[in-house]
Amino acid sequence: MLLSSSQRPGLSMNLGLRQNPSIPLAPGARYSVPAGQSRVPLTCHAATGSAPAAGLRRRSLQLQRREPEEDDQTSRPVQPKIMDATTTSFSTDEDVPLPPMVDQQYLSDTKFVDFDISSNSKRALVEVLRYERCSLVQAAAIPVCLGPADVVAKAKTGTGKTLAFVIPAIEKVLADRAPRGKVSVLVLSPTRELARQIGAETSRMLSFHPGLHSMVVYGGVNPRSNLREMMSRMPDILIATPGRCWDLMNNPGLQSMLSAVRLLVLDEADNLLDMGFRPQIASILRGLPPTPRRQTFLFSATFPPDVNKLAGVALKRQHEYVDAVGRGEVATHGHVEASCRVVPLECLRGQLLALMALHMAQEPQYKIIVFLPTAHLTAYLAELFVLAGLKKSGLVAIHSRMAQSGRDRASAAFRGGSRQVLFSSDVSARGVDYPGVTLVIQVGAPSSRDQYIHRAGRTGRAGRPGQCTLLLADFEEAFLTQLADLPITRINQPLQLPPPLQQQQQGQQRVDAPMSEGLVREPERAFARAAERIDAETRLSAFKSVLGYYRGHQQMRFSSRQLVDIINGYAVEVMSCPSPPPLSPHFAKKMGVHGVPGLVMSDPAQEEEGQEWQEGEEGEGAGGRGRRQRGGSDGGGGGGGGGSGRRAAAEVEAEEADGGAAATDGVSGGHGTVGGGR
């Protein structure tokens, strides 16, 4: 194992890594594992190639993946524990044991015992997490994070970034605990599911630290219970979504809870620092000690090219940059088979069905995530597929419009089950570690290139195999330019639906066919019948969310005429509506499509203004990046111009609705967060 720094004395020495004399330490060089040893090109990244931005010291990393030893039992793939989601009930995600990281090539030679960390943390790593060796990012980042510097750390999805900051966070608390009644470490996460996951990992790591306490808070649950718990015992480590954190810190009893924070961690930092979250993050930062007195870690698989832009927001002028992806190395995993299909809109849903059916036929323990553009469309299509004949117990939906309890159930069922499909909006796009996902399908252009990378990263985690397919309608083809440098195979051959799967015998168990024969033999008919059974409100919400999504997309610009064509086609071809649902003039104006030929309008007399705007807040994901405004109303009321429409769509940024939810729960009296939803 080899790791070097950018020749700053002392940096590589305390890493406990063995030097490999056969590999030179050329900055910027790429090294490959000899053929046959690893399918994955190893980037030993020396980040000194281009000038680091002012104030940012690039940590030069040269990492060599550990080669599996011949008799290395642990290098053999371990099948995730299989549980039938229909018969097993999980109260929380944390109840479900995670399978170990299976591909040991993704581990470094560095062992956790080599670090200068507390024996109780080491014990938790051995006895609870059962990890011996660090992943590459852990080997690189933990020693740096244990020091005093602020750190920006980048590593591919699913490579163990969570522990890379959790371990140092615990050590910081042990070394310099905040006074009684105050939080020592604040970890912010953009989504509730990720917050819970970080909380679970932290709890495991605290197993032998009985004096230390962590707590997770997020929107959608009663904030009074958070308040009560915090008042009775303030956590040393608080893991929060930004909205709930802001609400709690504005409660009179908790105003100074963050005033002694020693360490702030922003997980999915690029997401938290983009314009959608930034105002809220900036407000939270004002309640924290200033940067010289506070340490900050930013972690993500993706950062904007100019990382230094983030520096002004949260970091000290001098900070370390740990890059375990490697310059010139792509951000996606080479071991994930990535493909893309561009099809006429009328074939989109059929191809989705075929992709799922083929994968189910080929992969007995399939676990598929289907990412969809908006929360309302996710809800609609999940219902449509089930009514059309996809086995109900085999499909789970999760999106931001669900009650938190439903989200928890969905997440736990998918985490613990196999032979499952998860229809998801972007709430599952980042950070969420569902074990054993065999296929990710992204339907429609993601909101950005980075979002593509994060969604794709839900499979192939920790070196496991996986497949990822991007399924675009022809009008979205331009989005592919965003992904031009990523290894994605374009497939033009349309897929045929395989013959219906019959009941199968798997081991001792009989498993039912995942889809009805009717759906496989006559899908169009099955979908048309199913659509008739979905209520008009659900249909309208999904339809409007599609308009909002494409109206606000940052990388694809459509004229109003094109938009109307797109949504009309979507309604009929994807949603199986007999005709496009009528839009109110108010909403049409908001979206900048009022008066466009082909748009089906409702009777203005039936319009309910207040409700209308709420329903309009659905263009999640695409619209928001860098465009969301606070306050929930653009005050304009429209006009047919694209500017107004884009702004309206932008306002419905894909942020977790937890801020808004918390505000209405009355913790702090509200703060006007736009409660969008992914």
Ligand X SMILES: Nc1ncnc2c1ncn2[C@@H]1O[C@H](COP(=O)(O)OP(=O)(O)OP(=O)(O)O)[C@@H](O)[C@H]1O
The footprint of ligand X (CB under 6 A) covers 98, 100-101, 107, 131, 134-135, 138, 155, 157-163, 301, 431, 433, 457, 461-462
Q: Closer to ligand X at the Cβ: 162 or 308?
A: 162
Quickly count: other Cβ atoms within 10 Å of residue 591's Cβ. 31
Question: Minimal distance in Å, beta carbon 124 to ligand X?
Answer: 12
Name the burial class of residue 316, with classes exposed (0-12), middle (13-18) and buried (19+) by CB atoms within 10 angstroms of its CB.
middle
Question: Minimal distance in Å, beta carbon 666 to ligand X?
Answer: 33
- The two structure tokens encoding residue 348: 């989109």
Q: Closer to ligand X at the Cβ: 78 or 513?
A: 78
Question: Minimal distance in Å, beta carbon 558 to ligand X?
Answer: 31
From 558, 556, 574, select the one nearest 477 (Cα to Cα).
Answer: 556
Q: Closer to ligand X at the Cβ: 301 or 377?
A: 301
User: Is there a contact between 226 and 217 (Cβ–Cβ < 8 Å)?
Assistant: yes
Name the burial class of residue 600, with classes exposed (0-12), middle (13-18) and buried (19+) by CB atoms within 10 angstroms of its CB.
middle
Q: Closer to ligand X at the Cβ: 160 or 514?
A: 160
Question: Minimal distance in Å, beta carbon 317 to ligand X?
Answer: 27
Q: Which amino acid type is present at position 503?
A: Q
Question: Minimal distance in Å, beta carbon 98 to ligand X?
Answer: 5
Question: Minimal distance in Å, beta carbon 204 to ligand X?
Answer: 9
Q: Closer to ligand X at the Cβ: 432 or 593?
A: 432
Q: Closer to ligand X at the Cβ: 150 or 433?
A: 433
What DSSP state is assigned to residue 423?
A: E
Q: Closer to ligand X at the Cβ: 163 or 422?
A: 163
Question: Minimal distance in Å, beta carbon 282 to ligand X?
Answer: 23
What DSSP state is assigned to residue 417?
A: B
Q: Closer to ligand X at the Cβ: 95 or 537?
A: 95
User: Is there a contact between 18 and 1 (Cβ–Cβ < 8 Å)?
Assistant: yes
Helix axes 223-232, 242-249, angle to 10 degrees: 60
Question: Minimal distance in Å, beta carbon 660 to ligand X?
Answer: 25
482 three-class SS: helix
Tokens 């006009």 appear where?
Answer: 639
Question: Minimal distance in Å, beta carbon 269 to ligand X?
Answer: 11
From 66, 84, 76, 207, select the one nearest 138 (Cα to Cα).
Answer: 66
Tokens 């107004």 appear where?
Answer: 644
Q: CB nearest ligand X: which residue?
A: 101
**Sequence-ordered list of residues with C-beta below 8 angstroms from that of 390, at least 6 positions apart, any chain:** 421, 514, 515, 516, 519
User: Is there a contact between 347 and 471 (Cβ–Cβ < 8 Å)?
Assistant: no
**Sequence-ordered list of residues with C-beta below 8 angstroms from that of 35, at least 6 positions apart, any chain:** none
Q: What are phi and psi of 193, to 5 degrees?
A: -60, -40
Q: Closer to ligand X at the Cβ: 349 or 461?
A: 461
